[in-house]
Amino acid sequence: MKILDRYILKSFVITFATVFVILFFIFILQTVWLFIAELAGKDLDFFLIVKFLLFAMPRIIPLVLPLSVLLASIMTFGSFAENYEFAAMKSSGISLQRAMRSLMVFIGLLAVASFFFANNVIPYAEYQFINFRADIGKKQPAMAITEGQFSDVGSFNIKVDKKSGENGNQLTGVTIHKKSGTGQGTTTVIRSKTGELMTSEESNILKLILKDGDYYEDLTPKRYEDRKKLPFAKSEFKRYIINMDLGKLNKMDESEEKVTTNNMLNVNELRYTLDSLNKDYDKNIISFADNIYQRTGILSNANHIVVKNKVDTASAPAVKTELPKDLLGQFDNTDKLALLKIASGNVESTNFSIDGSVHEMQDSIKNINNHELAFYDKFVIAYACILMFFIGAPLGAIIRKGGVGLPIVFAVLIFITFHFINTFGKKIAQSDGLPPFAGAWMSSFILTPFAVMLTYRATNDIGLFQLDNLLEPVGNLFRKIFKKKEAAQTQQNVNQA
């Protein structure tokens, strides 16, 4: 490797590493902010918090890596141009493509590494992250209950005066408000002096054992006039057990109604899963179509259309009789009404069955599309590194500004555009508005011509914008207007003379 290649590569790698660490730290802070409700006030030790963040870190790489490549490219090549290092290279016969050669190899290796990272590390980390969030409630179920305030756990609001024990499982001064299933607020209040939380890693049920307490419940009489008396029931207990679903206890992100597995699979697993999903979807479509077809009764009534010749039933072929044009005219009014009612009932039943299956089919399509998007995303992140380099390097050479000022502005604008188009394409592809391939690659398809244009303009020293081409037509327009005014003024003076 020549001295120039080592110098360019060293400058880029140092800038890239610095930018990557800074951006990674910023996105980690964002992750902490998003999951602050899971970490704050839950009695988690430092090791669990670090383990939680370690499992969450790999999902940040697809955002940080392309942005770091883009910003480092702009800063490095902008600094070269600003310090006239590119001018010295060009005077020595070294073109921009020659200066980028060593970095092209580095970016190519980085793209390959990013693909293997997205294909192997991210699925494993995603699997561990989801399971860690689910298991943390089993290992420390008391983390969902905060001392001195009501904590919402499923259909219960629980308040404890004090938690003790190794994992905070021993409770003192327990007050529970049970939500009404009819939406009438809290109708049941349970109080006990002590309590204990018990769970097992093999079970998804949390057992709350209350001791020495009382149970209060409002009653709703059937007669309306008795409701004004506000009747209630009260009882005491020595031991009372409440079973709660750990799925609700561990539901730390309310927007996550359902955990999908598409991000936990690598390329080979996604191919196998997509093949199974497509086969199941085709089978469901065929089964549903056959069911609807059989409901119409066409198969059972088709035999009445085929009538064999009575002369020689053994040798004569089957002859199909033609249906009359006015089929209902063959029946009287009473039979017509009965047939129309049957047909109307069949149509309504078929429509109801179709409406009931539409959502199921849409969910199946959305699940298939999500898996296909996850499949293409592993290749998009590798191509994004290459794309951002061929946008950032020529752009830095054109604007001729290094440092962290103008390069950050350009990098943020370009990356926001890339990320917005990428998110927009995925959302449309999820709802089957676009093929998943087009949705996943939409941002790359749109920005690739921009990268080619920047590389061409930087290579030929054209600049980002040619103001002469924009200002010359405007100047010609104003000159024509002034010439017409001068000619009109001259003609007016001649007429007056």
Model confidence pLDDT, tens digit, residues 151-165: 777 677 888 888 877
| pLDDT score recorded for residue 167 | 67
> Per-residue pLDDT tens for 384-433?
999 999 998 888 888 877 667 777 888 888 988 998 999 899 889 888 88
Q: For residue 213, name the pLDDT band (cuts at 50, 70, 90).
A: confident
Q: Output 319 or 487, whichever has higher pLDDT.
A: 487
**Could you tell me if 119 and 63 are in contact, meaning their C-beta atoms sit under 8 angstroms apart?**
no
> Per-residue pLDDT tens for 171-201?
888 888 887 665 565 678 888 888 887 776 6
Q: Is 168 left (phi over 0), alpha (psi -120 to 50) or beta?
A: left
Q: Output 229 or 378, whichever has higher pLDDT.
A: 378
> Per-residue pLDDT tens for 83-101?
888 778 878 878 878 888 8
SS3 state of residue 238: strand
| pLDDT score recorded for residue 140 | 59
pLDDT over threshold 70, residue 487: yes
Q: Take residue 82 and report the two structure tokens written for it.
A: 């600003």
Mean pLDDT of 362-366: 85
Q: How many residues does the chain have?
A: 497
| pLDDT score recorded for residue 252 | 43
Mean pLDDT of 132-136: 66
Distance CA 286, CA 288 (A): 5
pLDDT over threshold 70, residue 483: yes
Q: Is 403 left (phi over 0), alpha (psi -120 to 50) or beta?
A: left
DSSP line for 195-219: EEEE--TT-SEEEEEEEEEEEEEE-
pLDDT over threshold 50, residue 254: no
The beta strand positions in 316-384, using DSSP E, are 319-320
**Could you tell me if 377 and 118 are in contact, meaning their C-beta atoms sit under 8 angstroms apart?**
yes
Distance CA 284, CA 280 (A): 6
pLDDT over threshold 80, residue 21: yes
Q: Output 317 or 152, whichever has higher pLDDT.
A: 152
| pLDDT score recorded for residue 434 | 86
| pLDDT score recorded for residue 256 | 42
CB atoms within 10 A of CB 202: 6
| pLDDT score recorded for residue 448 | 92
**Could you tell me if 174 and 195 are in contact, meaning their C-beta atoms sit under 8 angstroms apart?**
yes
| pLDDT score recorded for residue 207 | 79
pLDDT over threshold 80, residue 383: yes
Q: Is 273 left (phi over 0), alpha (psi -120 to 50) or beta?
A: alpha
| pLDDT score recorded for residue 258 | 42
**Could you tell me if 162 and 147 are in contact, meaning their C-beta atoms sit under 8 angstroms apart?**
yes
| pLDDT score recorded for residue 86 | 77
Name which of 173-187, 238-252, 451-465 the model is least confident about.
238-252
Distance CA 70, CA 451 (A): 11
> Per-residue pLDDT tens for 43-74?
566 777 788 788 888 888 888 999 999 999 99
Mean pLDDT of 311-315: 47
Q: List CB contacts of 35: < 8 A, sequence separation 6 or more.
A: 52, 56, 252, 253
Q: Take residue 154 and report the two structure tokens written for it.
A: 């499923």
Q: For residue 311, name the pLDDT band (cuts at 50, 70, 90).
A: very low
| pLDDT score recorded for residue 441 | 92
Q: Which residues pair with 80 in a beta bridge?
A: none
Distance CA 160, CA 151 (A): 9
Distance CA 123, CA 104 (A): 28
Q: List CB contacts of 450: < 8 A, sequence separation 6 or more.
A: 391
pLDDT over threshold 60, residue 274: yes
Distance CA 87, CA 100 (A): 15
**Amino acid at site 349:** S
Q: For residue 226, name the pLDDT band (cuts at 50, 70, 90).
A: low
**Could you tell me if 53 and 133 are in contact, meaning their C-beta atoms sit under 8 angstroms apart?**
no
Q: List CB contacts of 232: < 8 A, sequence separation 6 or more.
A: 216, 217, 218, 219
